[in-house]
Amino acid sequence: MLSATLFSCNSNKPAPAIPADKAVEAQVEKVLKGMSLEEKAGQLVQLNISVLEDDTHEAIDPAKLDKIIGQYKVGSILNVMHDAAHSREHTAAMVRQIQEKSMEAIGIPCIYGLDMIHGASYLIEGSLYPQEINLGATFNRKFARQMGHAMAYETRAAQVPWVFSPVMDLGRDPRWPRIWESYGEDPYLQAEMAREETLAIQGDDPNHVDLEHCAVSLKHFMGYGVPHSGKDRTPAYIAENDLREKFFAPFLECFRAGALTAMVNSASINGIPTHANALLLTGWVKEQLNWDGMLVTDWADIDNLYVRDHVAADKKEAVAMGINAGIDMIMDPYDPECCTAIVELVKEGKISQARLDDAVRRVLRLKVRLGLFDKPVWDGAYPEFASKQFADESYAAAVESEVLLKNEGDILPLKETARIFVTGPNANSLRALNGGWSYRWQGSADEFAPQYNTILEAIQNRFPHVSYEPGVVYDETSMAWQNEDASGIAKAVAAARKADVIVACVGENSYCETPGNMDDLNLSAAQKELVRELAATGKPVVLVLNEGRPRLIGDIEPLVQAVVDVMLPSNFGGDALAALLSGDENFSGKLPFTYSKHINALHTYDYKVSEHRETMGGSYNYDAVMDVQWPFGYGLSYTDFAYSNLSVVAGADRQSFQPGDVLKVSVDVTNTGKRAGKEAVLVYSSDLVASLIPDVKRLRAFDKVALQPGETKTLTFEIPASALAFVGADGRWRLEAGDFRISCGGLGVQLRCTETKVWDTPNI
């Protein structure tokens, strides 16, 4: 409750996160004035498209449209018919039909929203990019911009103006089934990439989003990614200072960049369901940021307040609880009676007229900002739709995202003439390469996009001598993704004996959300068995990990000569891998998460100094060892890079700085090897003594640089000293006098902050 007491008073309103536009506000007020209570209630409800579908599940039933839009005046629809991607034309025609009805019946456009997650993932011909976790591994902001641009452009081309992206949850617990939807475990990396994506999706002016851009929905606000049990949609317990300092930080960056909507965390933090958390929804976001955007619930999460969480007795109480906490739109998603509940609650005084009007204003403002009143539907050729340019960008992002983790004896690149045996359940699967949110919720790329190359096909296209046996195969039923058939192992091992090198493609089949829960983070027993038996042939093994989270492989890693983690690189991921394995391209991806080794030791890179024997400084706790498989930021290349001349200049002298200074960091990076390559340069800070146990280090800046053999470039970064502040025991941001270390590429510079500063605003 610290922040409640410290920062809940809003006497000094901060500058608005999105500057208000007079014409937008005037139009909102004009529409609001003419609305009945029923119309207002309808604007606060979002239903699933299934409530409009006819018996074919491919078209809208006009009678249902009359009921949902005409009678209940529902303001928003989401999702795809029949849980499947449709063509651009089909989607556009469906939205047009809804818009015509909405304009005719209530004179207010409906807003359609879709889960476009790594591109236009619900359009059959849409362009898909590697998932966010891969883009995190590129450490290259360009790809987040490109993906955001293509996603918004193609979504608009299908008459949809709102995407439920970017995903902002930090991938800090590998047990959680959604970590691949985020940019990784680090708040700064997440903030930087998501800001770029947000700007690319929305464009530069959130008050006037044009016909090539969409509104974002930052999700899921917040703390969703660290459930105590590791299972999706279960309670999290997060220290208040971590909540502000790490979990809120990426949201803050995107709200400040103009994000128009956010979707709320389905679960709970410290015992409070987020959908009922007025302090976070109204306090932190709406008041402390003076943000006039719109908060939408996640799927059925008002129901969850009474059905699952037992903080409300029934639906009506739950609706009042959510709206009074700050929810503006309820993703119900099946029951229009939610509208009736809102009407009754307002009449009974359980939702005030002021709160109702505030929520309606936020919905209307979004629709005005998107231009939907002027153009509920629009024309446009959208010539870049599914363009070669988007495909090329997706391929380039895949190349920069696949991470080389081990290359013993330089077994890679593979020799042109090698007899390559490709195996494993992931070798011939587009579904696995793409992961969830790909044409279907649970993923289904083989069904919708067979024209792309699996890993096997791409290797066959690139190398002359390729053989294949899967060894282990997945059950392709979407929810049964963990079931495996290992009866082919013997056949695979026999085939492997005839090869020079084995490329074993293991990992996970696609899944999404709660169906992705599991009880053991280890790579499956069947796949480990496959790898063990392959290794026993004595042939060198290249282990390819195609997985949404780092499945533990500590016991089999020593048996293989090379490891590449391709994560979820999407439709061009196979081509990218073949090019990397052959040496046509060079690796430059680095892990955006810590790859853990032991099930009882799941760490993040920003652990406390007191967690590790080497950083705690001579204590007796011999057990406290940070024994991870590969650390955050780890990734090899076919060339070598050397770092030199790290220098940090701040203020008047080189040894010290003050809270108002900007640290100017520069470092020389040289390609000392024989091949061209790209290097992600990561700059960290460490607070050496602080009033709360300091994190061992925190990422503060990064950039990606391309270097020819022998070439040196100087990289410069500016880090405001305030970025080194932390949230203290009293909930306030503080930068304390004392020593800091700035490190980069194994080099370090120590300097002293000469003054303590404590901020009295919640966000700095």
Decide whether 120 or 404 has the Cβ nearer to ligand BGC. 120
Q: How many CB atoms lie within 10 A of CB 107?
A: 12
Q: Which residue has the tokens 């579908």?
A: 53
Q: Exposed e or buried b for every residue in 530-554, given b needs 16+ CB within 10 A?
A: bbeebbebebbbbbbbbbbbbbbbb
Decide whether 274 or 671 has the Cβ nearer to ligand BGC. 274
| Closest distance of CB 299 from ligand BGC, Å | 4
Candidate list 169, 173, 292, 298, residue with the active-site label = 298
Q: What is the DSSP string of 399-448?
A: HHH-EEEEEGGG-PSPPTT--EEEESTTTT-HHHHH-SSBSBTT--HHHH
Written as six digits, the tokens of 396 are 């380039």
| Closest distance of CB 443 from ligand BGC, Å | 14
Residues within the interface to ligand BGC (CB under 6 A):
78-79, 115, 164, 219, 263, 266, 298-299, 513
User: Cα(130)–Cα(573) distance, rounded to whole angstroms?
Assistant: 8
| Closest distance of CB 290 from ligand BGC, Å | 26
Q: How many CB atoms lie within 10 A of CB 733?
A: 20
| Closest distance of CB 191 from ligand BGC, Å | 19
Decide whether 114 or 404 has the Cβ nearer to ligand BGC. 114
Decide whether 232 or 679 has the Cβ nearer to ligand BGC. 232
CB-side exposure of 423: number of CA atoms within 13 Å?
A: 32
Q: What is the DSSP string of 88-120?
A: HHHHHHHHHHHHHHHHHHTSS--EEEE---SBS
Decide whether 77 or 455 has the Cβ nearer to ligand BGC. 77
Decide whether 299 or 378 has the Cβ nearer to ligand BGC. 299
| Closest distance of CB 118 from ligand BGC, Å | 13
Single-letter residue type at 158: A
| Closest distance of CB 280 from ligand BGC, Å | 17
| Closest distance of CB 475 from ligand BGC, Å | 23
Residue 570, phi-psi category: left (phi > 0), alpha (psi -120 to 50), beta (remainder): left
Decide whether 27 or 266 has the Cβ nearer to ligand BGC. 266
Decide whether 296 or 648 has the Cβ nearer to ligand BGC. 296
> Residue 374: which residues within 8 A CB-CB, separation 6 or more?
none
Q: What is the DSSP string of 39-69?
A: HHHHHTEEEEGGGTB-TTSSSB-HHHHIIII
- The closest residue (CB) to ligand BGC is 299
Decide whether 219 or 275 has the Cβ nearer to ligand BGC. 219
> Residue 346: which residues within 8 A CB-CB, separation 6 or more?
37, 40, 41, 352, 353, 356
Decide whether 261 or 401 has the Cβ nearer to ligand BGC. 261
Q: In what order do the strands lie in the sheet with 656-657?
A: 656-657, 747-753, 738-744, 677-687, 698-707
Please say whether the dihedral angle defined by the alpha carbons of residues 520, 526, 529 and 534, taken in this order, is positive or negative: negative
Decide whether 164 or 395 has the Cβ nearer to ligand BGC. 164
CA distances from 414 to 256, 424, 500 (A): 47, 18, 10
| Closest distance of CB 266 from ligand BGC, Å | 6
CB of 303 closer than 8 Å to CB of 315:
yes
Decide whether 115 or 132 has the Cβ nearer to ligand BGC. 115
Q: In what order do the strands lie in the sheet with 420-423?
A: 403-407, 562-565, 541-546, 501-507, 420-423, 466-469
Written as six digits, the tokens of 709 are 């053999």
> Residue 580: which residues within 8 A CB-CB, separation 6 or more?
399, 402, 404, 413, 564, 586, 587
Pairing of strands 217-221, 162-163: unpaired
CB of 407 closer than 8 Å to CB of 636:
yes
Element (H, E) at 714: strand 712-720
| Backbone phi, psi, residue 157, to 5° | -60, -25
| Closest distance of CB 243 from ligand BGC, Å | 20
User: Has 186 been annotated as catalytic?
Assistant: no
> Residue 305: which residues within 8 A CB-CB, separation 6 or more?
273, 275, 276, 311, 312, 317, 318, 321, 322
CB of 756 closer than 8 Å to CB of 735:
yes
> Residue 204: which residues within 8 A CB-CB, separation 6 or more?
none
Decide whether 232 or 245 has the Cβ nearer to ligand BGC. 232
Query: How many helices (DSSP H) and strands (DSSP E) are in the chain?
Result: 23, 29
| Closest distance of CB 220 from ligand BGC, Å | 6
Q: In what order do the strands lie in the sheet with 76-78?
A: 162-163, 111-114, 76-78, 45-48, 330-331
Q: Give the largest Cα separation in the chain, rounded.
A: 79
| Closest distance of CB 169 from ligand BGC, Å | 9
| Closest distance of CB 298 from ligand BGC, Å | 5
| Closest distance of CB 293 from ligand BGC, Å | 16
CB of 75 closer than 8 Å to CB of 108:
yes
User: Cα(543)–Cα(546) distance, rounded to whole angstroms?
Assistant: 10
Residue 640: closest CA among 666, 677, 668, 592: 677
Written as six digits, the tokens of 735 are 């930068």
User: Cα(133)–Cα(176) distance, rounded to whole angstroms?
Assistant: 14
Active site residue ranges: 298
